[in-house]
């Protein structure tokens, strides 16, 4: 049990089992395997026909999601407060990415889209707009995770990933962090970064399965 958290807070912050994830076209979060075209990164890049990524597959990669009530944010959402407390997210700020709000927009967008990893979790809660977080699976496929208003996404330390806006060209999101934030990206190849081997070790048997597939 997390120190200081009540049973009610623990229940509010609890991770949903993958079979209850709010994943799909009508939800704040949708995930699919990407095509490999070089067209604008802001396009959906779905395969034909679309191939959704199941929640179980994302969960196995260490990704965690919650769908929160974004309307409740300004008045103090008890579920968000519980998640912050239970998971130790002591830091919070808000970032808006639009061509108008972000200096050097085109350059920054390209930077966010460089495949990289971090030495901590990356936690984003979408308050307005939407964007794509792409994560690499163990077969080197890109899984595109579409995050819209109300989506809280946690991607694990050490996973290769990238971010882009979609064609709406606008997102406002909370950035949460445990302690003093470190935003440094380690661009791929980053096999020497201890977080990478830690991540692969956390996947256990799945790594061996992927090695067999890659051979
Ligand atoms: Fe990142």
Q: Say what the pLDDT of residue 209 is.
A: 47
What is the predicted pLDDT for the residue at 214? 43
How far does residue 23's CA lie from ligand 1's centre (Å)? 21
* pLDDT the model gives residue 194: 98
Half-sphere exposure of 163 (CA within 13 A, CB side): 20
Q: What is the mean pLDDT of residues 17-32?
A: 91
Q: How far is the CA of 64 from the centre of ligand 1 (A)?
A: 15
> Which of 48, 86, 53, 83 shows the shortest CA–CA distance to 68?
83
Return the structure tokens found at 177. Answer: 């962090």
Report how far ligand 1's centroid is from the alpha carbon of 87 (Å).
Answer: 19
Quick one: pLDDT at residue 3? 74
Measured CA to CA, the distance from residue 3 to residue 21 in angstroms comes to: 27
What is the rounded distance in angstroms from the CA atom of residue 75 to the CA atom of residue 78? 9
Report the CATH fold assignment for 21-214: Jelly Rolls (2.60.120)
Residues of the chain with pLDDT > 90, as a percent, come to 83
Please state the pTM of the whole predicted model.
Answer: 0.92
Taking residues 101-118, report their average pLDDT: 91
- Domain definitions of the chain by residue range: 21-214
> Which DSSP state fits 43?
S
C-alpha–C-alpha distance, residues 35 and 47, integer Å: 5
| Whether pLDDT at 213 is above 80 | no
- Residue 206 has a pLDDT of 58
Give the helix ranges, DSSP H, for the chain.
7-13, 55-60, 78-87, 105-112, 194-202, 205-214
Nearest CA to 40 out of 130, 132, 125 is that of 132
% pLDDT > 70, the chain: 94
Which segments are annotated as binding site for Ni(2+)?
Answer: 116, 118, 122, 161
- CA 189 to ligand 1 centroid distance, Å: 14
- Rounded to the nearest whole angstrom, what is the distance from the C-alpha of residue 186 to the centroid of ligand 1? 9
> Residues whose CB is under 5 A from ligand 1 (ion)?
122
Question: Tens digit of pLDDT for each residue in 36-88?
Answer: 999 999 999 999 999 999 999 999 999 999 999 999 999 999 999 999 999 99
Q: Per residue in 159-209, pLDDT tens? A: 999 999 999 999 999 999 999 999 999 999 999 999 999 999 999 855 554
Going from the Cα of 117 to the center of ligand 1, the distance in angstroms, rounded, reads 6
pLDDT recorded at residue 110: 86
CA of 8 to the centre of ligand 1 (A): 32
* Mean pLDDT within 127-151: 97
Please report the pLDDT score of residue 207 as a whole number: 52
Residue 6 CA to ligand 1 centre (angstroms)? 32
Mean pLDDT within 139-150: 97
pLDDT score of 91 more than 80:
yes
State in Å: Cα 155 to ligand 1 middle. 9
């Amino acid at each position: 049990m997390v120190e200081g958290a009540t049973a009610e807070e623990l229940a509010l912050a609890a991770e949903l089992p993958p079979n209850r994830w709010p994943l799909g076209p009508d939800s704040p979060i949708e995930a699919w395997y990407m095509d490999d075209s070089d067209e604008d990164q802001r396009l959906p890049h779905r395969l034909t026909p679309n191939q959704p990524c199941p929640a179980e597959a994302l969960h196995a990669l260490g990704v965690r999601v919650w769908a929160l009530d974004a309307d409740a944010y300004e008045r103090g959402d008890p579920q968000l407060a519980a998640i912050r407390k239970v998971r130790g997210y002591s830091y919070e700020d808000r970032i808006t990415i639009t061509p108008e709000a972000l200096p050097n927009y085109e350059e920054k967008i390209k930077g966010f889209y460089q495949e990289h990893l971090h030495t901590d979790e990356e936690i984003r809660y979408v308050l307005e707009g939407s964007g794509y977080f792409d994560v690499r699976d163990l077969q080197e496929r890109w899984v595109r995770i579409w995050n819209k208003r109300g989506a809280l996404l946690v991607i694990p330390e050490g996973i290769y990933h990238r971010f882009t806006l979609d064609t709406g060209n606008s997102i406002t999101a909370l950035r949460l962090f445990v302690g003093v934030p470190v935003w440094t990206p380690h661009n791929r190849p980053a096999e020497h970064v201890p977080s990478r081997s830690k991540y692969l070790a956390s996947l256990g048997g799945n790594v061996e399965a992927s090695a067999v597939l890659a051979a």
